[in-house]
């Protein structure tokens, strides 16, 4: 359960919680109308299954690209990557609107400590029966320097342990980014697992539709499998980096301030914590 401090939406309290635990929740930041607009736009586009050039129909496992098995609920509802870069599709303007929504700006600025720059959007459908996402660290993929990235995870449905809700490991925001182990793919659709340090355990974060979970790019986090028979656990997730970032993975080509202007950030160099096996964008 979240403490009372985590239940407040004040910018100062969220920033304090973010600094202490590596995450914070802004309750009801988006209205029912906002949530319905996002949900209906993405569901309408996905009505006939994956959308070429947008849906993640194949995932790299080692050096081989694998598709989802036909029996996997994610074969019809895979996540959509970078929808904001598709202005030709209905989801494009919607994703861009909420990635740069003014309600997010003061909270992100207070948590990051400087102007936030948007670099990524993703939409997860997570239908009933879908596998979870194993514990991982976001900055393993984004490779932001000298600091880290920050996620804004917008709940489009109520999310809890039953339908694949979120898990965080408080305090791990101060960890180094580590090379992950292999995930159990019978439970998780992703390939990587990061083991929490001794004495630290994942805790569930229950969210209502319209809530936003913010978390640090070094924080270990993941999600449960969706054990529900009828409930989706949809979410729109956006990532941000500090304006003074000097490096970012080359796979993240968007670098937008909230006023829509671009920021120049050099491509990250080297192989990351796994050497030349560093993962590419979209695997997270």
61-104 confidence digits (pLDDT tens)? 554 445 688 889 999 999 999 999 999 999 999 999 999 999 99
CB 282 within 8 A of CB 138: no
pLDDT of residue 281: 42
Backbone angles phi, psi at 83, to 5 degrees: -60, -25
Please state, as a whole number, how many other Cβ atoms lie within 10 Å of the Cβ of residue 171. 16
Is pLDDT above 60 for 6?
Answer: no
Number of domains in the chain: 1
Among left, alpha and beta (phi > 0; psi -120 to 50; other), residue 210 is left
pTM of the model: 0.93
**% residues pLDDT > 70 (the chain):** 90
CB 187 within 8 A of CB 225: yes
55 falls within a domain: no
Residues 233-243, mean pLDDT to the nearest whole number: 98
Is pLDDT above 70 for 234?
Answer: yes
Distances (CA, A) of 251 to 171, 227, 254: 28, 33, 9
Cα 132 to Cα 221: distance, rounded to the nearest angstrom: 11
60 falls within a domain: no
Cα 148 to Cα 22: distance, rounded to the nearest angstrom: 12
User: In terms of DSSP H, where are the helices of the chain?
Assistant: 11-21, 32-45, 91-99, 105-112, 139-142
Cα 149 to Cα 173: distance, rounded to the nearest angstrom: 11
201 falls within a domain: yes
Residues 145-161, mean pLDDT to the nearest whole number: 98
pLDDT of residue 68: 82
63 falls within a domain: no
pLDDT of residue 58: 67
Cα 1 to Cα 22: distance, rounded to the nearest angstrom: 16
90 falls within a domain: yes
79 falls within a domain: yes
pLDDT of residue 269: 87
Cα 60 to Cα 235: distance, rounded to the nearest angstrom: 23
The residue behind tokens 């459908």 is 125
75 falls within a domain: yes
More confident residue, 163 or 71: 163
Asked, as a colleague might, if the bond just before 146 is cis with ω within 30 of 0, I would say: yes
186-219 confidence digits (pLDDT tens)? 999 999 999 999 999 999 999 999 999 999 999 9
- At 277, the pLDDT band (50, 70, 90 cuts) reads low
**% residues pLDDT > 90 (the chain):** 85
239-251 confidence digits (pLDDT tens)? 999 999 999 999 9
61 falls within a domain: no
Domain extent for 77: 4-49+71-277
Q: What is the CATH number of the domain that holds 151?
A: 2.60.120.620
Is pLDDT above 50 for 283?
Answer: no
- What is the overall mean pLDDT for the chain? 92
Cα 212 to Cα 28: distance, rounded to the nearest angstrom: 8
């Amino acid at each position: 359960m979240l403490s009372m401090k985590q239940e407040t939406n004040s910018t100062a309290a969220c920033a304090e919680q973010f600094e202490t635990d590596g995450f914070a929740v802004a309750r009801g930041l988006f209205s029912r109308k906002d949530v319905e607009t996002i949900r209906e736009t993405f569901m309408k586009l996905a009505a006939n299954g994956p959308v070429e050039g947008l849906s993640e129909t194949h995932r790299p496992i080692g050096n081989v690209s694998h598709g989802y098995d036909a029996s996997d609920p994610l074969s019809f509802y895979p996540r959509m990557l970078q929808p904001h870069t598709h202005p030709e599709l209905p989801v494009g303007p919607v994703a861009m609107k909420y990635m740069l929504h003014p309600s997010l700006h003061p909270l992100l600025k207070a948590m990051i400590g400087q102007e936030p720059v948007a670099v990524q959007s993703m939409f997860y459908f997570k239908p009933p029966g879908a596998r979870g996402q194993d514990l991982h660290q976001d900055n393993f993929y984004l490779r932001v320097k000298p600091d880290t990235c920050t996620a804004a995870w917008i709940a489009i449905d109520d999310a809890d342990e039953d339908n694949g809700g979120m898990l965080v490991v408080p305090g791990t925001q101060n960890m180094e980014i580590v090379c992950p182990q292999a995930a159990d793919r019978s439970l998780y659709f992703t390939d990587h697992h990061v083991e929490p340090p001794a004495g630290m355990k994942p805790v569930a974060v229950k969210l209502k539709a319209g809530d936003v979970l913010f978390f640090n790019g070094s924080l270990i986090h993941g999600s449960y499998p969706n054990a529900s028979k009828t409930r989706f656990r949809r979410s729109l997730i956006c990532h941000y980096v500090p304006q003074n970032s000097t490096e970012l993975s080359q796979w993240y080509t968007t670098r937008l301030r909230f006023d829509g202007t671009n920021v120049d950030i050099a491509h990250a160099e080297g192989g990351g914590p796994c050497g030349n096996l560093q993962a590419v964008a979209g695997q997270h």
